[in-house]
Amino acid sequence: MAGYEAVIFDFDFTLADSFRGIVECANHALKTMGLPPATPDEIRKTVGYSLPESLVRLTGEEQSGRGGEYTRLFVERADEVMADRTVVYDYVPETVEHLRGKGLRLGIVSTKYRYRIVEVLGREGLLEPFEVIVGGEDVSEFKPDPESLNLALERLSIPPEAVLYVGDSVVDAEAAMRAGVPFAAVLSGPTPRDAFSEYEARMIMDSALDLTSSI
């Protein structure tokens, strides 16, 4: 695993668990739109996708024209509850300290809004180590489009092959592949190990903590 200059992480299910907040915000938006509620299992499968795409996956293609409405309602509720319902995994401080001790630069690329990630990391005293954070409001195309990863690479001024992107979903894996960035999968989210088989992951780990023994 030598040769990397930076490690970039996804956020939800990779560094933190905000699932309680996601369920609440999703069902708040669906209810307000007059749509049936979704189960936690259904919602879990949409984490990592853009909000308009999540709506389609929850309700069907016939609701695709209401993505903006769903996004607005979800974000309004998230501004009220999401940070308080987000828990950073307890091994993240150790992982961050280890990687920084190895001289690696750190970043985050997520579909979650940057300002919310900043709020959560600031609360936990973990904001300073992350040199770049790219969130959903920073791009016009969401993962698996590589725009967000490419923007992080540009801000770090390092080539794709010098970065390891760590994420929990096939959305993350495809974004890395399309950006030419090596990918490491974590199983801390809902995606099973075999789903990553076609993406040539450099590592498949139980959690980001495993980086402390491999880098």
Between CA 74 and CA 22 the distance in angstroms is: 9
- Mean pLDDT, rounded, for 148-163: 98
| pTM of the predicted protein model | 0.93
Q: What share of the chain is helix, strand, coil (3-state, %, to 5)?
A: 50, 15, 35
pLDDT of residue 3: 86
State percent of the chain over pLDDT 70. 99
Between CA 40 and CA 74 the distance in angstroms is: 15
Domains (range + CATH), the chain? 6-17+86-213 (3.40.50.1000), 19-84 (1.10.150.240)
Q: Pull the structure tokens for residue 211.
A: 């980086």
State percent of the chain over pLDDT 90. 96
Between CA 83 and CA 75 the distance in angstroms is: 12
CA 17 from centre of chain:
10
- DSSP H helical segments within the chain, as ranges? 19-32, 40-44, 51-59, 67-81, 92-101, 114-123, 147-156, 170-179
- Element housing 16 (H / E): strand 16-17
Number of residues written out for the chain: 215
Indicate which residue of 10, 168, 172, 210 is catalytic.
Answer: 10
pLDDT of residue 1: 59
When the pLDDT of each residue in the chain is averaged and rounded to a whole number, the result is 96
- Mean pLDDT, rounded, for 147-171: 98
Residue 16 has pLDDT above 80, yes or no: yes
Q: Which of the 8 DSSP states describes residue 195?
A: G
Contact status, residue 6 vs residue 129, Cβ threshold 8 Å: no
Between CA 74 and CA 48 the distance in angstroms is: 15
Between CA 195 and CA 192 the distance in angstroms is: 6
CA 126 from centre of chain:
16
pLDDT in tens, 106-134: 999 999 999 999 999 999 999 999 999 99
Contact status, residue 137 vs residue 113, Cβ threshold 8 Å: yes
- Mean pLDDT, rounded, for 169-173: 97
- Mean pLDDT, rounded, for 188-205: 95
Closest CA to 151 of 126, 181, 174: 181
pLDDT of residue 41: 95
pLDDT of residue 94: 98
pLDDT of residue 48: 85
Concerning whether 90 is annotated as a catalytic residue, the answer is no
